[in-house]
């Protein structure tokens, strides 16, 4: 069974939620940890992006081992979600636009992607991010080729819908279906709205061993 690696698209490092972190008056725990260098990339991006990145991170961590989960950044290529992060580093990320013609973004990402492709030649690479835009897909497809896949259920969904979809997959312990990016229809009709997750008094739904996805070895 092949290994599976997840690549998570980055969170926006500017905007209203980012300004809360950058404020010197901020006293909430994450802001304080960022100032001391004790915050992680994963928890910071989750705060910045909300439901979407929370869904991506929870999904990847549910269905892969830690060494198989990578987060795309604007200026440092691929980093594991547990990477330490400071306010200064976050500001540097915010200063680099995610664009095909921006070498500060493309060069580190392509360098890391090439290294990953060489080190994990038997791995299936799944992009958890926008597949309608070429800002991630074009770069990664040129390196991973047919190995690059994405959840087919992403087609036609917006960011929040994709985040909710992944959290539901985590809740029921069932992975989504992956299809190759190459040749796929990446723009489609918007699917029906997701139904609310059913809660039970018995707590999280139990899953048998056969429902647990394979781990990256």
- The whole-number pLDDT of residue 130 equals 83
Decide if 51 contacts 160 (C-beta within 8 A).
yes
Q: Is residue 180's pLDDT more than 60?
A: yes
| H helix intervals, the chain | 16-22, 29-36, 41-49, 51-63, 87-94, 103-119, 134-144, 159-172
Provide the number of structural domains found in the chain.
1
Query: Encoding tokens for residue 117?
Result: 């492709």
How many CB atoms within 10 Å of residue 33? 18
> Tens digits of per-residue pLDDT, 161-178?
889 999 999 999 999 999
- The whole-number pLDDT of residue 158 equals 80
pLDDT over 70 for what percent of the chain? 83
- The whole-number pLDDT of residue 191 equals 57
- The whole-number pLDDT of residue 200 equals 45
- The whole-number pLDDT of residue 183 equals 77
Backbone angles phi, psi at 39, to 5 degrees: -80, 160
> Tens digits of per-residue pLDDT, 69-83?
999 999 999 999 999
- The whole-number pLDDT of residue 194 equals 55
- The whole-number pLDDT of residue 199 equals 54
- Residue 55 resides in a domain: yes
- The whole-number pLDDT of residue 151 equals 93
- Residue 197 resides in a domain: yes
> Tens digits of per-residue pLDDT, 15-47?
889 999 999 999 999 999 999 999 999 999 999
More confident residue, 116 or 206: 116
- The whole-number pLDDT of residue 215 equals 31
Rounded-to-10 torsion of CA 48, 184, 215, 204: 60
- Residue 130 resides in a domain: yes
d(CA 60, CA 208): 19
Q: Which domain holds residue 54?
A: 4-211
**pTM score of the predicted model:** 0.84
pLDDT over 90 for what percent of the chain? 67
- Residue 217 resides in a domain: no
- Residue 182 resides in a domain: yes
- Residue 216 resides in a domain: no
- The whole-number pLDDT of residue 3 equals 86
Q: Is 94 exposed, middle or buried (0-12, 13-18, 19+ CB in 10 A)?
A: middle
């Amino acid at each position: 069974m092949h290994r599976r690696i997840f690549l998570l698209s980055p969170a926006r490092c500017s905007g209203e939620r980012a300004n809360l972190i950058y404020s010197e008056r901020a006293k909430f725990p994450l802001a304080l940890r960022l100032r001391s260098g004790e915050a992680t990339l994963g928890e910071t991006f989750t705060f910045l992006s909300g439901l979407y990145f929370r869904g991506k991170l929870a999904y990847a961590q549910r269905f892969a081992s830690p060494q198989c989960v990578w987060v795309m950044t604007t200026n440092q290529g691929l980093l594991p979600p547990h990477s330490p992060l400071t306010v200064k580093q976050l500001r540097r990320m915010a200063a680099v636009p995610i664009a095909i013609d921006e070498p500060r973004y493309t060069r580190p990402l392509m360098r890391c992607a090439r290294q990953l492709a060489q080190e994990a030649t038997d791995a299936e690479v799944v992009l958890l991010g926008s597949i309608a835009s070429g800002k991630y897909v074009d770069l990664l497809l040129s390196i991973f080729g047919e190995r690059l896949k994405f959840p087919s259920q992403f087609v036609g969904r917006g960011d929040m819908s994709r985040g909710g979809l992944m959290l539901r997959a985590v809740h029921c312990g069932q992975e989504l279906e992956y299809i190759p990016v190459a040749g796929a229809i990446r723009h489609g009709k918007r699917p029906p709205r997701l139904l609310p997750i059913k809660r039970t008094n018995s707590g999280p739904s139990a899953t048998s061993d056969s429902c647990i996805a394979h781990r990256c070895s």
